[in-house]
Structure 1
Amino acid sequence: MASPSNTPRIVELAAQISSSVTELQERLSAQGISSPTFAEDSPQGFPADMTPLRDALLDATAELHELLLDPLQLLYKFASISNLVSIDAISRYKLAGMVPPGGQISFTEVSERSGLDKGLVRRLLRHAMSMRIFKEPEPEMVAHTKISSFLSIPHINAWASFEGRDTWPAATRVVDAIEKWPGSEEPNQTGFALANNTDKPVFEFLGAHPDRMMRFGSAMKAIDHVPGCAPELISKDYDWASIGNASVVHVGGGRGQIAIELAKNFGHIKLTVQDMEMMIQGAESDVPDQLKGRVEFMKHEPFETQTLEADVYFFRMVFRNWNDNYAVQILKAQIPALRPGAKILIQDGCMPEPDSFPLWLERVQRGVDLALKCYTNGRQRYLDEWKALLAAADERFRLHQVFMPKDSLLAILEIHWVEL
């Protein structure tokens, strides 16, 4: 970003960083919160009221750092696939779980417990340490940083393993898929399909490989840590109280985690979770006793004709997995059950225009967008693309309003069904 003044940009950034860090530390101290470090017990995040200040600092420090790199080193920073080698090894061999919380372990012991050669252990872990994953408090000893401690959480380890064993190979074939199937948006003509030598869409393929499906299922819980995606935030992201004594169908709602969260906080709504049989089997046992009868499950998939009449149909991170042709089919499948005034709520990405979002969050959004291309040929949509999608499905779908919760990568589109 060019500077409007004669002051060199790096000087402007340094001054901005200095004043912002001072303000941030003053606010942390006033609230009795420790300043962030890489220590194992350092706080993982910041209070919500400090988020704008944190965002500005992240963008400023990144810009300063990247301005000081020469072009090759900047490209290497973003293209260094070797970083995944050590992360994949750490997750696959569960090395983070071998380091005792608050303690340390030797390279030799990690070698013995993992079955890996000691020299390879040292090579992998010291590479990870250069990324702040683990530290070496004394020669040949390994201890946690807050990053490696985070990797020891089972579902985070599963996510890192999925990224290394499934996403990484598929990502290397995305451009090959673009070349092989120009303009295709079919879910089985993807980098994932090429990497796995299959003509099946990703979920059908994973369903035939239980070990990989289990890894995927565990890894998906990591989404809870993505800004604004935690299930407990759903109650704040939309004015659910405004819908009154409503019946809500959560289409593609998995095992009901979101439905349970809503039922706990809004005693006036009743929820039905629809998903494939494999997903909902036994899910009733996860429903707390006090919510039974208000959270129910029904075998139903998004492309099937909707048979359940309700006041609200809720889709959370469903449409991103499908191109427009299939997304239109999902919307049309709901029409037979829709009554005048029925609402469709879509919680999904709404892509930011350039410079309208903190850059570090924009990078996350655009990274998710390409990951969807890798797996399903789906995508994140801009607001005008959402409007075009609704119009293509039926003119009676009217976009009423869009909620973009602060600090969230997910918007909520409120759509009304209007009889003409």
Structure 2
Amino acid sequence: MTSNTTSSRIAELAGIISNAVSKIQGVLTEKGLPQPSFDEDSKYVLPAEAPVVEAQGQALDAAGELYDLLLDPFTLLFRHGGHNNMVCQQVITRFRIADQVPPGGQRSFGEIAKSIDLNEQSVTRVLRHAMTMRIFCEPTPGMVAHTNISKLLQTRHVHDWMTVAIEEMWPAAMKTVDAMQKWPGSQEPNETAFTLSNNTTVSIYDMMAANPQRAQRFGGAMVAYASSPSVDIAHLIDSYDWASLGDAAQVIDIGGGTGAVAKQLAEQFSGLQVLVQDIAPVVDGAEADIPATLKDRVKFMAHDLFSPQEISADVYVLRWVLHNWADKYAIMILRALVPILKSGMRILINEMCMPEPGTVALSREKDLRAMDLDMGAVFNSHERNIGQWRNLLAEADPRFELRSVIQPPGSILAIIEVDWDVLCSPLGNQ
């Protein structure tokens, strides 16, 4: 690329950013929404509307490309190495430094160091690096205060999420290549980078079952992640025509945990009966958190998703279930539904439908592909694109027919609608 072309490109990028920000600002102003800010008490969220999501992607991609173009290649390569970021975040989470800074107040580096029994120089260098990522700020020399990002770490589930990222995912990531070499092409959940990083021969499921404290922390991390706007249950509730199921329709949420989806479905659609199926330790006592007005329509049942389904329903929901499993096991989960399925029954798979390269904003694609790497490192599974979903369904049983894929604006999860076609021959696929 010539210098003239580069100069033209950086000017073009500046224009893209300006236009995209103007569109976003117009929506925020029109709706009277909070402005983006790093202020400690700022809780802004951009609205998940198609024009805003599109403009956000344009602005982020253009800003990212402009940032990269303004660096020399070696510096850019250095910036992509994130190990120093992880080090400072590990210190912050392990010593709960966010709890050491009072909301709305300040505390010196020295006071923080004394409270957590670390050297002041170490604390200062770590926190000043964190501040370059907007985690904490230094309003006056030597004093530490919160940004909205650091303050968020005072929330238990968010702290769990960051701790899992640092103490579970990071060590596994460092063993990813070793696992690829040791078990090439493996689909087994106990032949993973996570297995190697824990020096064990068991899967993450068995590891967590044997360590309740780690399991509780991992569960807290999932609660935090599930609260992200990009995976909000509202996308599933609002983007599918549940009302078309009619009165008294039966929905079964397989792997539905403690009923988060079930509660929202029952609240918004008074005709739905929702049964939540999950393993016994998860569903035991879960009905206690269901409002009295919903208890007659939200029920729980212990069920192993690999066991044949015995309860008939109009719709079976699999939200964030299949991506935890390699194709070998995802096929077994789908086949477990076959004995009960009849014409007109439907399956809704609420999972990522990975985009083809270059078809979505690069900033979004980067996040999705990072998640795909995480699934490989921990579960030996992967996120699937539309072709892979079709192949998975066909391998499980040719009577599974992919009807539609709905991609709600602002959501990283698609709604993959699958019909059961009794006219298609199952021969050779059972």
TM-score tier after normalising by the smaller chain length: over 0.9
Is 1:251 the counterpart of 2:254? The answer is yes
Cα deviation for residue 360 of structure 1 reads: 1.0
Q: Check 1:66–1:41 CA distance in 2 against 1; reply closer, same or farther (3 A cut).
A: same
Deviations, residues 325-356 of structure 1 (Å, cap 9, x unaligned): 11111111111111221111100010001121
Match of 1:373 in 2: 376
Residue in 2 that maps onto 1:405: 408
Counterpart amino acid of 1:40? E
Q: How far has the Cα of 1:47 moved from its partner?
A: 2.5
- Match of residue 306, structure 1, among 302, 306, 309: 309
> Which stretch shifts more, 65-74 or 256-265?
65-74
Match of 1:352 among 345, 351, 355: 355
Q: Distance in 2 between matches of 1:255 and 1:6?
A: 53
> Residues 159 and 222 of structure 1 are in contact (CA less than 8 Å); yes or no, is this contact kept in structure 2?
yes
Equivalent pair of 2:266/2:294 in contact (CA under 8 Å): yes
The Cα offsets for residues 240-293 of structure 1, whole Å up to 9 and x where unpaired, read as 111123101111111111111111111111111111111112111111110002
State how 1:112-123 maps to structure 2 within 5 Å: 112-123=114-125
- Of residues 137, 140, 146, the one that matches 2:139 is 137
Q: Which moved more, 1:184-193 or 1:36-45?
A: 36-45
Give the deviation of 1:101 after TM superposition. Answer: 1.6
Q: Which residue in 2 is equivalent to 1:61?
A: 63
Aligned-partner SS, 1:82: helix
Partner residue, 1:260: 263
Is the counterpart of residue 283 in structure 1 residue 283 in structure 2? Answer: no
Measure how far apart 1:24 and its partner are. 3.5
Alpha-carbon displacement from aligned partner over 1:334-385 (angstroms, at most 9, x marks no partner): 1111122111110001000112111111111101100000111111101011
Alignment match of 1:237 (pick from 236, 239, 246) = 239
Alignment of 1:95-114 (within 5 A): 95-114=97-116
1:88 shift after superposition: 1.4
Question: What are the equivalent positions in structure 2 for 1:111-260 lying under 5 Å apart?
Answer: 111-245=113-247, 246-260=249-263
| C-alpha contact (below 8 Å) 2:189/2:379 kept by paired residues | yes
**Are the aligned partners of 2:252 and 2:313 in contact in 1 as well (CA < 8 Å)?**
yes
Distance 1:30 1:253 in 2: 38
Unaligned runs of 5+ in 1: none
Counterpart pick for 1:414 among 409, 414, 417: 417
* AA matched with 2:377: C
Q: What is the SS of the residue equivalent to 2:402?
A: strand
CA pair 41-173 structure 1, distance change in 2 beyond 3 A: same
Give the C-alpha shift of residue 18 in structure 1. Answer: 2.6
Q: What is the root-mean-square deviation of aligned Cα atoms in Å?
A: 1.9
Greater shift in the superposed pair: 263-272 or 98-107: 98-107
Query: What residue number does 1:293 align with?
Result: 296
- Superposed CA deviations along residues 83-128 of structure 1, whole A, max 9, x for unmatched, are 0111111112111122222211122221232222222221211111
**Equivalence for 1:42:** 42
Match of 2:405, SS state, is strand
Structure 1 residues 256-265 or 65-74, which shifts more?
A: 65-74
Paired with 1:98 and 1:374, the residues of 2 have a C-alpha distance of 33
* Aligned counterparts of 2:348 and 2:19: Cα–Cα separation in 1: 42
Paired residue secondary structure (2:83): coil
Distance, in Å, in 1 between the alignment partners of 2:199 and 2:385 is 32
* Native 8 Å contact 2:10 2:66 kept in 1: yes
Q: CA deviation at 1:34?
A: 4.4
- Bigger Cα displacement from structure 2, 89-98 vs 57-66: 89-98
Write the deviation string for residues 200-250 of structure 1: whole angstroms up to 9, x where unpaired. 111111110111101101000122244431123331131111112310111
Task: Label 1:377 to 1:41 Cα distance change in 2 as closer, same or farther (>3 A).
Answer: same
Does 2:354 align with 1:321? no
Contact 1:227 1:409 in 2 (8 A): no
Alignment-mate amino acid for residue 141 of structure 1: M
What SS does structure 2 have at the residue aligned with 1:346? strand
Q: Determine the structure 2 residue equivalent to 1:20.
A: 20
* 1:383 partnered with 2:386: yes
CA distance in 2, matches of 1:321, 1:34: 36
Deviations 1:131-160 (A, max 9, x none): 111001112111011211222221111100
Separation in structure 2 between the aligned mates of residue 86 and residue 44 of structure 1, nearest angstrom: 26
- Give me the whole-angstrom Cα distance separating, in 1, the residues matched to 2:389 and 2:321: 13
Structure 2 Cα separation of the partners of residues 108 and 60 of structure 1? 40
Letter in structure 1 aligned against 2:235: L
Q: Any idea what SS the aligned residue of 2:86 has?
A: helix
- Give the Cα separation in 2 of the matches to 1:361 and 1:194: 30
Q: Does the 8 A contact of 1:17 with 1:57 survive in 2? A: yes
Partner secondary structure for residue 380 of structure 2:
coil
Q: Distance in 1 between matches of 2:90 and 2:44?
A: 22
SS in 2 for 1:119: helix
**d(CA) in 1 for partners of 2:25 and 2:350?**
35
Which residue identity lines up with residue 203 of structure 2 in the other structure? P
Letter in 2 for 1:230: D
Greater Cα shift, 395-404 or 26-35: 26-35
Calculate the TM-score normalised by the size of structure 1.
0.95
Q: Which amino acid aligns with 1:79?
A: G
Deviations 1:32-85 (A, max 9, x none): 344323221334322234332222111110110011222222222222211011
C-alpha distance in 2, partners of 1:147/1:310? 43
Flag as ranges the 4+ runs of structure 1 deviating above 4 A: none
Q: Say if 1:249 and 1:310, in contact at 8 Å, map to a contact too.
A: yes
Q: SS at the partner of 1:301?
A: coil
Bigger shift: residues 189-198 or 97-106: 97-106
In 2, Cα distance between equivalents of 1:223 and 1:122 = 29
User: Is the 1:350–1:411 contact (alpha carbons within 8 Å) kept by the matching residues of 2?
Assistant: yes
The whole-number CA distance in structure 2 between the counterparts of 1:232 and 1:21 is: 26
